[in-house]
Amino acid sequence: MLPTPAGLAFAAALLVMLIASINYNLSLGYALVFLLGGVSVASIVHAFRNLLHLSFSPGRAEPVFAGESACFHIVVANHRPARRPALRLTAHGAAVPFEIGAGDGADVTVPVVTATRGWMTLGRVRIETTYPLGLIRAWSVLVPDQRCLVYPAPEPTPPPLPEGASRNLGQRAGAAGDDDFAGLRTHQPADSPRHVAWKTLARGGPMLTKQFSGMDGGEIDLDWNDLPANLGTEARLSRMTAWIMAAERRGLAFSLTLPDTRIATGRGPQHSTSCLQRLALFGTDVAADA
């Protein structure tokens, strides 16, 4: 426990008052100085008791993309029948004020801005209070075993997804769709005649195929080696992240091929999460444990 800037100013004011009382022999001045000094000493006890018998346990931190804020959840429990006001959790420069009722608990979310992909640990967390007068700051440090997976930042304007290689291109996927018209694309020999844009062809236009939401665009292979040679490692990861998100939104089946691993064709949130995790840990020592 140490005095706050306000506490130091308060102590300096008390010293000046004490010197003036001694100089002019003011008995009321002595009484006022000692009264205020006793109050400040009592605030030390209250600040200490405000942190006494608090317990902390790490919560879950959902994966985020690089550049977003990771939300670390810390569960704080109050084991005393007394309210705990004016508490504050601080980590990575972010301070989160909160309070807890008597015998209650609180799920405190500490936002931390991410910069790079991979595992991000929460590290040192400081719990502190300046209760009750703001003159004394009491604090303690904890290091919870908590981490958050940071995916690569998706490329803002990625090129279109690679062409699907499935023979049943243009057929309905197993998942239900709304059959909403989503646009036109270049016709391929495997496309069903039912989906050909005959009106466009009759007007002298090119032969195009209609696309609908909820339709299968074929099995797409997101291959590391198919990307342009001038792309760096992080740029490749960023593009493949954007492609995975696009394929997930459209309900397409895709596989992921990296220099050190390959994930078979699949679809759905769980498949996308597995692929994004591989991209996040690509080239790191813990990639094999993912």
Supply the DSSP symbol for 215.
B
Which pLDDT score, from 0 to 100, does residue 166 have?
A: 43
pLDDT band for position 195 (cuts 50, 70, 90): confident
Strands, E assignment, the chain: 2-3, 54-58, 64-65, 69-78, 84-91, 94-100, 105-113, 118-121, 125-129, 136-142, 147-151, 181-186, 208-212, 220-223, 254-258, 261-266
Nearest to 122 by CA among 99, 150, 100, 97: 150
Reading the block at residue 28, the tokens are 């009321």
CA distances (Å), 186 to each of 110, 201, 249, 253, 258, in order? 49, 12, 21, 20, 28
Query: Which region among 47-61, 191-205, 209-223 has the lowest average model confidence (pLDDT)?
Result: 209-223
Does the pLDDT at position 103 exceed 60?
A: yes
Q: How many helices (H) and strands (E) does the chain have?
A: 5, 16
Cα separation, 122 vs 141, in Å, equals 13
pLDDT band for position 249 (cuts 50, 70, 90): confident
Whether the Cβ atoms of residue 122 and residue 91 lie closer than 8 Å to each other: yes
Cα separation, 134 vs 132, in Å, equals 6
* Model-wide pTM > 0.95: no
Q: Is residue 213 classed as helix, strand or coil in its secondary structure? A: coil
Reading the block at residue 153, the tokens are 């930042």
pLDDT per position as a tens digit, 45-79:
999 999 999 999 998 899 999 999 999 999 999 99
Does the pLDDT at position 211 exceed 80?
A: no
pLDDT per position as a tens digit, 143-171:
999 999 999 999 998 888 887 544 344 44
Which pLDDT score, from 0 to 100, does residue 204 have?
A: 78
pLDDT band for position 189 (cuts 50, 70, 90): low
Does the pLDDT at position 191 exceed 70?
A: no
Cα separation, 170 vs 196, in Å, equals 10
